[in-house]
Structure 1
Amino acid sequence: MRTSAIRLCLGFPALAVLLMAPPAGAIDAPALSPATAGAMAQAASPQAIAEYRRKLREYQEARAAFEQEAGAYWSSIYEKRKGRNAKRRERQAIALDDYVLTQPPLYTGPKRPVNPEGEPEVPPRERKPIPVVADFLKAAAEHFHFAPQRPASEAEFKRAYARTALASGLTREQAVRVYSFETGGNGNHDMQSGLSASRPGSRAISTAIGYNQLLTTNSVELLAEQGHEFVKALTEKAARLSAPARKAMDHKIAVLKRMVAFSRTVPDEWAAHEKLANTPQGWAVHAMVLDIDVGPLLQTHKLLTSVLFARAKGHTRPLTAAELEMMNLTGDGTGLDMVTMPQAMRERVPTSNFFQRGGYERNPVAIRHNTVAKLLAITDERMDSNGGKPGARELASSF
């Protein structure tokens, strides 16, 4: 069951670092080193201290007023969302007044003043390291005695993905345009969010990998829910092989079955899958996204689940690539909320209706393109601009 929380990267690799930044206007004065703080404390005059305290009171009052306003706004977002969900359960039509139609408040008050007496140095928050491809491969070897079969070339993986996507019912336009958006038009099958060969020293910002940027949790969830179909597909392929290729495929199928069993050891819920995905065994499962046989299945089903979800909810019109990407990014339920919205409503409904507060305030794309219509438009625009890059052209020619 896919989460409704929007992904951080939003398909804009160049903006990925920006999306991790604190909300605008919420940045306090930087902490000072003990030596600097001590020197400032000695130099601070009574007048400077009094002025600081006056400005601090102004800042605190402004922030308190803003927090009260923002809290009320985001509470209304939550209540409206809860109301829409209730109406959908009762199969009632969603109307314009089921959304908050005003934009969220932005803090425009004074910044926190710098204390002339200095502030105690706050140790930096320790961040948990994000595993990378080498970690996934190591985990697969250690826990499943398996190494993914890598493609001889990127073109080979693209051809395998194209065959799988077409066979599943995805269109060439959907697959290529989503790839263009997610990877910037030039991504490889092992591309990880935040990492780039052209940027030495770059760091991963998530575990998202490949053409449709699957997270570790996506891989675990897809194996839990669709693993039997993957095993069936590989078994049919194995029947057409002869030794030694057949022996290698049989081993891959055996490993895949074990991974499927592992992925099903928890309830079919995103939170449970996420916990499983954050273990070394979960990392091993994610290594399958690199395999020439299983990887295209995972990448395809990441999108196919959204298509099938929309159909199951009565949305029979084919999804545009931008609409499919909204479901891919935000989760099926939230994405379908936008997809089924008439154009006139898209023009008026703010994007904040589909976010939690923290996610929205870290997301300059959603803030800048602040209605559903604008968000879909910028998605289409990025797909257009990235679609002419070599990777996207090569994928298009693979169909």
Structure 2
Amino acid sequence: MHHIPIRRALTLVPFTLVLLVPAALARDSAVLPPSVSNAMAQASPQAIAEYRRKLAEYQEARATFDAEAGAYWGQISEKRRIRNAKRRSGQQVTLDDYVLVHPPLYNGPKRPVNPEPEETPERPVRKPIPVVADFLRAAQDLYQFTPQRPTTEVEFKRAYARYALASGLTREQAVRVYSFETGGTGNYDVQSGIEHGGKRAISTAVGYNQLLTTNSVELLAEQGHEFIRALSEKVAQTSGPARKSLEYKLSVLKRMVALAKSAPDTWSEHEKIGDTAQGWAMHAMVLDIDVGPMLQTHKLLTSVLFARAKGYMRPLTAAELEMMNLTGDGTGLDMVTMPQAMREQVPTSNFFQRGGYERNPVAIRHNTVAKLLAVTDARMDSNSSNAGARELAGAF
């Protein structure tokens, strides 16, 4: 992303200057931009007094809201701590272990605009979000490796379908999650923000299940042994020049897995790698016809296996799997294991931090677990009829 420095404009002529040079001001005012002229006109003692009165009202209303919201979100955290403790000790989680009222939303006065010019702090430069070309360049620079990309989109879909089915995902899970994540139209190399005519990436999420760089690092660290085993089997069944190419790919994969495993197995540590050229190079594997389908599959399969390990043996619906995919396995399973009667009553705020909730209009609008799952299902239903979703379903 290109950073455009904020340029400060003269928005106010000091009051003393107005008194000293009225003729000059009158002469020049005709050529001043309207915004400057308006600011000058507003900056009267009366305007400033009115601004300060409104500012005091705003600050009082905001302080009242922040105190109320702080108490609410503190209760959310405490209830979450209690639920986690109960689960660790094998106790039943009940309706009383959730906050059953919705969070306060600020509806007081807006912060007034200061009629006097204020120092505008320069915004920090935002790091550009890497795109597919950056991932490919990193793989070439660091590993002298270029992923083997499919000759057609359907080739990748078939490879994904074969591996997903063999690993235990169902057609419904794979197709409906794909439909939700990509709108039912995304290709194997689709990146968040660039799909549907978008011009700028909004994250590093790539592919059918929208893996972030951190996801790729984490999957290589935690499931790398499985990827190495599967690719080794393919090498053993291949001969000629194709085998030589696969052997080199296997050697690169082993090096990537070793590096991913060298960090502590936490999201924050994997995120650190994901923000480097090494992480970008690992992320390029999502584009490879052999490794990419495995990464996309295990992004979902880890949630399925997590649920089973916690004793939840019923097959996950696609919407339930998506909740785990979106919110993380622990939080998602909290929603998944909830009886329908509780889903109808428990607010979605129980599964968010305050900042994340207040920035999430979907969670606010569909404000119970049942409503959130229902809108997820509805979006899957709608998008499953799109061309990419139909093609993926056919690949199964």
TM (normalized to structure 2)? 0.91
Q: Assess if the C-alpha contact under 8 Å between 1:135 and 1:283 holds in 2.
A: yes
Letter in 1 for 2:118: E
Q: Distance between the aligned counterparts of 1:361 and 1:144, measured in 2?
A: 42
1:238 Cα deviation after fit: 1.0
The 2-side partners of 1:196 and 1:85 are apart by: 38
AA partner of residue 162 (structure 2):
R
Contact persistence 2:178–2:389 (CA under 8 A): yes
Distance 1:54 1:381 in 2: 47
Higher Cα Rg: structure 1 or 2? 2
- The CA distance in 2 between the partners of 1:351 and 1:173, in whole Å, is 25
Query: How does 1:352-391 map onto structure 2 within 5 Å?
Result: 352-391=349-388
Structure with the greater relative contact order (CA < 8 A, sep ≥ 6): 1 or 2? 1
2:69 — aligned with what? 70
1:331 aligns with 2:306: no
Contact 1:34 1:121 in 2 (8 A): no
- Cross-structure match for 2:264: 267
The answer on whether the counterparts of 1:32 and 1:118 sit within 8 Å (CA) in structure 2 is: no
Shift of 1:240: 1.2
Q: Is the partner of 1:333 in helix, strand or coil?
A: helix
Amino acid of the structure 2 residue aligned with 1:35:
L
Determine the C-alpha separation between the residues in 2 that align with 1:234 and 1:392.
27
**How far apart, CA to CA, are the structure 2 residues paired with 1:51 and 1:100?**
40
Q: Is the 8 A contact 1:32 1:121 kept in 2?
A: no
Question: Shift in Å at residue 42 of structure 1?
Answer: 6.7
DSSP-derived class of the 1:34 partner: coil
1:34 equivalenced with 2:9 (yes/no): yes
C-alpha separation in 2, matches of 1:160 and 1:371 = 37
Where does structure 1 lack aligned partners over 5 or more consecutive residues? Answer: 1-30
2:176 & 2:130 partners in 1: Cα distance?
28
Amino acid at match of 2:299: K
Q: How does 1:1-399 map to 2 (within 5 A)?
A: 33-38=8-13, 39=36, 40-41=39-40, 44-196=43-195, 198-199=197-198, 202-399=199-396
Give the ranges of 4+ consecutive aligned residues of structure 1 lying more than 3 Å apart after TM superposition. 31-34
- SS of 1:36's equivalent in the other structure is coil
Q: CA deviation at 1:249?
A: 0.4
Structure 2 CA distance for partners of 1:119 and 1:396, relative to 1, 3 Å: same
Displacement of 1:156 in angstroms is 0.2
Shift of 1:356: 0.8
Q: TM-score, normalised by structure 1?
A: 0.90
Higher mean alpha-carbon deviation, 376-385 vs 34-43, is at 34-43
Once the two structures are superposed, residues 136-168 of structure 1 have per-residue CA deviations (whole angstroms, 9 ceiling, x without a partner) of: 000000111100000001000000000000000
- CA RMSD between the two structures: 1.3
- The alpha-carbon distance between structure 1 residues 396 and 37, as it changes in their structure 2 partners (threshold 3 A), is farther
CA distance 1:223–1:32, change in 2 (3 Å): closer
